[in-house]
Amino acid sequence: MEADKIWMNGSLVDWADATVHVLTHALHYGTSVFEGIRAYETDDGPAVFRLDQHLLRLERSAAQYYMPLPFSHEDLRAAVHQVISANGLHEAYIRPIALRGYGVMGLNPVEAPVDVAIAAWVWGAYLGEDGLKHGIKAKISSWRRIGNNTIPATAKAGGQYLNSILAKMETQHAGYQEAILLNELGMVTDGSGENIFVVKDGVLSTPPISASILEGITRNSIMEIARTEGYEVLERDLARAELYHADEVFVTGTAAEVCPVRSVDDHLIGEPGPVTQRLQHVFHEVVHGRDPRWAHWLDPVSAKAPAG
């Protein structure tokens, strides 16, 4: 997963030199906010999918933790483009991170400097090619999702991912590919790194923000695409057993894209159904710039990546 260059605090450095001190605040306390963004190949070169929305969420996440970002929205947008072109990437997973750096220890980070870095590399099918085609096996985690009044799930902060990591490790040890977390009320929230949708009698449902989910940009895109395709989409609390009895279940995320779920807790849902397949297809066309209805979601990287 290596590329040549990483953008760090305003300039490009070699991949191996993008390092921090061991007493970096974020390393001890999780005080970072980050994004996961994808760029896809289109006829006009690589284009970043919903870059503005991702940067806005990064800015919101930073604000949640009173972290002033030393770069403007436009600076960050240009930096994302720069990282893609400098590495000659045709498609990429892009990882911007803003973190409380080296300088103070203790739990009040406001005096610590804020470092910002943006890396990009090629990251294939997050849940496996087979998962994308035939669906993944998921399991409800015994770990509950962090609550709105413990760590707000709506901000994408480093520390909160300990919750996802516990869930992911538990389910993988048990032989499943992905964890689905319930909140403290027992309602469905997210996968360890994805939002979740169920399809029942042609209607899509996905948990609401108040359930303690990350407000996913892929989730938002799929809701909009599905409504345009004529499906009813509800944001409502989902009980665990609704997953077992659903006609179709799929998860969405920048890394995971649109990935079918073939079973939950060994209750078979089966091969990807027609709604999942349709949305997967439209999403694929959209991100590759082949669906003019959603062209405004693509931010073309101006400098064409060199061949190779």
**String of contacts with ligand PPE for each residue 64-103, x by CB under 6 A:** ----------------------------------------
| Footprint on residues 25-44 left by ligand PPE (CB under 6 A) | 36
Indicate the residue whose CB is closest to ligand PPE.
36
Q: Name the minimum Å distance from CB 164 to ligand PPE.
A: 6
Among 214, 243, 298, 301, binds ligand PPE (CB under 6 A): 214
Residues serving a catalytic function are 156
Does residue 131 interact with ligand PPE by CB under 6 A? Answer: no
Beta carbons within 8 Å of 298's beta carbon, 6+ residues apart: 42, 47, 48, 49, 287, 289
Q: What number of other Cβ atoms are within 10 A of residue 46's Cβ?
A: 26
| Footprint on residues 275-294 left by ligand PPE (CB under 6 A) | none
Q: Name the minimum Å distance from CB 126 to ligand PPE.
A: 7
Q: Which is nearer to ligand PPE, 210 or 302 (CB)?
A: 210
Distance CA 188, CA 205 (A): 11
Q: What region does 280 belong to: left with phi over 0, alpha with psi -120 to 50, or beta? A: alpha
Does residue 243 interact with ligand PPE by CB under 6 A? Answer: no
- Token match 């009040």: residue? 108
Residue 111 structure tokens:
């005096």
| Footprint on residues 165-194 left by ligand PPE (CB under 6 A) | 190, 193-194
CA neighbor of 188 nearest in space, from 149, 136, 127, 235: 235
Q: Name the minimum Å distance from CB 37 to ligand PPE.
A: 7
Rounded CA Rg of the chain: 19
Q: With both helix axes pointing from N to C terminus, report the angle between 51-64 and 73-86 in degrees, rounded to the nearest 10.
A: 120
Q: Name the minimum Å distance from CB 94 to ligand PPE.
A: 9
Q: Name the minimum Å distance from CB 221 to ligand PPE.
A: 8
Q: Which is nearer to ligand PPE, 209 or 241 (CB)?
A: 209
Q: Which is nearer to ligand PPE, 112 or 222 (CB)?
A: 222
Chain centroid, CA 240 distance in Å: 22
Among 217, 238, 287, 298, binds ligand PPE (CB under 6 A): 217
Does residue 253 interact with ligand PPE by CB under 6 A? Answer: yes
Q: What region does 283 belong to: left with phi over 0, alpha with psi -120 to 50, or beta? A: alpha
Q: Name the minimum Å distance from CB 253 to ligand PPE.
A: 4
Does residue 219 interact with ligand PPE by CB under 6 A? Answer: yes
Does residue 207 interact with ligand PPE by CB under 6 A? Answer: no
Burial 234-247 (b: 16+ CB within 10 A, else e): eeebbeeebbbebb
**Which among 11-19, 247-255, 258-266, 276-284 is the span making contact with ligand PPE, rule CB under 6 A?**
247-255
Distance CA 7, CA 82 (A): 8
DSSP string, 122-158: ----TT-HHHHHH-EEEEE-SSPPPPTTTS-TTS-BT
Residues that bind ligand PPE (CB under 6 A): 36, 164, 190, 193-195, 214, 216-219, 252-256
